[in-house]
């Protein structure tokens, strides 16, 4: 409980008694902090809504923002901060929209009166609560944005392309962590099944660094592909990466490794080409 029912009633009276002055001053002090990135009319509309909702809540006997009476106000605040987060405003700029109300209220009160000051402290507590709530919603919106983007990145960054009849390639770009390695592995294996390709080329030109963990992920993918009956070739190993691999003592065993994607493709074609050449020879003979 941040303010008593009587204080809440007096707040409603104060806000509705000077409605025009409150919204005008409020808009004025907020618009300066937003530096013209939001039109004054738009801002005034938002703050008027907030103002009306605060009056409604205070008249309903609001004693705490978490109460049922505050539901509409909370929804409005969440909406406001979601909008601000999406439009790229900072957390401070968003919170200021609420905190500016404090100065407005202080201007309306008779500062010489001790009762009025005590009321102001109570109002401040409510406004602090509103500000914190705004900040929370802002952060939540940002976090969901970041999560969405990470997911999109995961989707985007792991294409499996068909290079030749029966040959698919996975150009890996960016750091390979466990989550991405899992996605790459699943997608590659699924593509092998869907296309019936017996050869896969894993190109690591775009991988900035290969440590033991990354190598482990690649090896797992290769072994899984082998279990399914497909062969993997690793290509795009840059000179520094080759040195790192040797320095770390990573063993690729009997997995074919090539310097470039072109070499890998030539290698695969030779593998398949030898077979066809033999058959042709046999038929001709």
Partner 1 sequence: MDRVPILKIGDVLLVSIQVDMSDQTALQLQDDLAERIVATGCHGVIIDITALDIVDSFVGRMLSTIASISKVLDAETVVVGMRPAVAITLVELGLSLNGIRTALNVERGMELIAAARYDEGGYGPDGDDADTETTAVP
Assigned token pair, 91: 């957390």
Q: Is there binding between residue 165 and partner 1 (CB under 8 A)? A: no
DSSP letters spanning 151-209: HHHHHHT---EEEETTEEEEEEES---HHHHHHHHHHHHHHHHHHT-SEEEEEEEE-S-
Q: Is there binding between residue 251 and partner 1 (CB under 8 A)? A: no
Which one of residues 197, 202, 218, 234 is an interface residue with partner 1 (CB under 8 A)? 197
Which one of residues 55, 189, 202, 265 is an interface residue with partner 1 (CB under 8 A)? 189
Q: Which stretch binds partner 1 (CB under 8 A): 10-18, 21-29, 65-73, 182-190?
A: 182-190
Q: Is there binding between residue 270 and partner 1 (CB under 8 A)? A: no
Strands 167-173 and 231-235: unpaired
Q: Which stretch binds partner 1 (CB under 8 A): 6-14, 74-82, 171-179, 191-199?
A: 191-199
Q: Is there binding between residue 227 and partner 1 (CB under 8 A)? A: yes
Nearer to partner 1, 40 or 216 (CB): 216
Which one of residues 24, 153, 193, 262 is an interface residue with partner 1 (CB under 8 A)? 193
CA distance 160 to 202: 10
Assigned token pair, 137: 């919603």
Report whether 224 contacts 186 (CB < 8 A): no
Half-sphere exposure of 126 (CA within 13 A, CB side): 27
Interface residues with partner 1 (CB under 8 A)?
A: 185-186, 189-190, 192-193, 196-198, 220, 223-230, 275, 282, 285
């Amino acid at each position: 409980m941040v303010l008593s029912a009587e204080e809440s009633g007096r707040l409603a009276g104060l806000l509705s008694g000077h409605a025009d002055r409150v919204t005008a001053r409020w808009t004025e002090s907020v618009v300066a902090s937003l530096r013209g990135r939001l039109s004054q009319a738009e801002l005034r509309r938002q703050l008027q809504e907030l103002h009306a909702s605060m009056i409604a809540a205070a008249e309903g006997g609001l004693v705490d923002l978490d109460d049922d009476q505050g539901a509409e106000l909370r929804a409005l605040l969440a909406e406001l901060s979601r909008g601000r987060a999406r439009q790229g405003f900072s957390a401070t700029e968003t919170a200021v929209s609420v905190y500016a109300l404090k100065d407005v209220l202080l201007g309306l009160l008779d500062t010489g009166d001790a009762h009025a000051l005590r009321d102001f402290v109570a109002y401040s507590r409510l406004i602090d609560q509103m500000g914190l709530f705004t900040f929370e919603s802002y952060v939540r919106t940002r976090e969901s944005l970041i999560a969405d983007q990470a997911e999109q990145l995961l989707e985007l960054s792991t294409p499996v392309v068909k290079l030749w009849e029966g040959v698919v390639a996975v150009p890996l770009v960016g750091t390979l962590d466990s989550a991405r390695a899992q996605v790459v592995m699943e997608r590659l294996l699924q593509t092998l099944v869907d296309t019936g390709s017996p050869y896969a080329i894993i190109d690591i030109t775009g991988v900035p660094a290969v440590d033991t963990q990354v190598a482990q992920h690649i090896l797992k993918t290769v072994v899984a592909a082998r279990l399914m009956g497909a062969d993997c070739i690793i290509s795009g190993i840059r000179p520094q990466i080759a040195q790192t691999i040797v320095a770390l003592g990573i063993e690729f065993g009997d997995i074919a490794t090539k310097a470039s994607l072109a070499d890998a493709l030539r290698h695969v074609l030779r593998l398949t080409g030898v077979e066809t050449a033999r058959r042709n020879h046999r038929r001709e003979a």
